[in-house]
Amino acid sequence: MSFSPAPLAGYDGGMNILRNFAVLEGPDGSGTSTQMEQLKRRFRAPGAALPPLYATAEPTGGETGRLIRRALKGEPALLGETLARLFAADRGEHLYGAGGIVERSGRGELVICDRYVPSSLVYQGLECGEELPRTLNSPFPAPELILFFDLDPRTAAERIQDRKEHEIYEYLEFQIKVRRRYLSLLPVFRSEGSAVVQIDASGTVEEVAEQLWAALENMPIMKG
What are 69-114's pLDDT values in tens digits? 999 998 999 999 999 999 999 999 999 999 999 999 999 999 999 9
Q: Identify whether the C-beta of residue 32 lies closer than 8 Å to the C-beta of residue 114.
A: yes
The pLDDT of residue 159 is: 83
Q: How far apart are CA 39 and CA 136, in angstroms?
A: 30
The pLDDT of residue 210 is: 97
Q: Please, which pLDDT band fits residue 8 given cuts at 50, 70 and 90? A: very low
The pLDDT of residue 6 is: 31
111-138 pLDDT, tens digit per residue, is: 999 999 999 999 999 999 999 999 999 9
H or E segment at 147?
strand 142-150
Domains of the chain: 5-223 (3.40.50.300)
The pLDDT of residue 184 is: 96
| Mean pLDDT for the chain overall | 90
Residue 46: pLDDT over 90: no
Residue 202: pLDDT over 50: yes
Q: Mean pLDDT, to the nearest integer, of 197-207? A: 97
Spell 73-93 as b/e; 16+ CB within 10 A means b.
Answer: eeeeebebebbbbbbbbbbbe
Q: Mean pLDDT, to the nearest integer, of 47-68? A: 95
Residue 55: pLDDT over 80: yes
148-192 pLDDT, tens digit per residue, is: 999 999 998 888 777 767 777 878 898 999 999 999 999 999 999
Q: In what order do the strands lie in the sheet with 195-200?
A: 53-57, 110-114, 17-25, 142-150, 195-200
Tell me how far CA of residue 117 lies from CA of 101, 155, 173, in angstroms.
Answer: 13, 25, 22
Q: Please, which pLDDT band fits residue 9 given cuts at 50, 70 and 90? A: very low
H or E segment at 195?
strand 195-200
Q: Mean pLDDT, to the nearest integer, of 16-20? A: 96
Q: How far apart are CA 144 and CA 196, in angstroms?
A: 9
The pTM for the full model equals 0.90
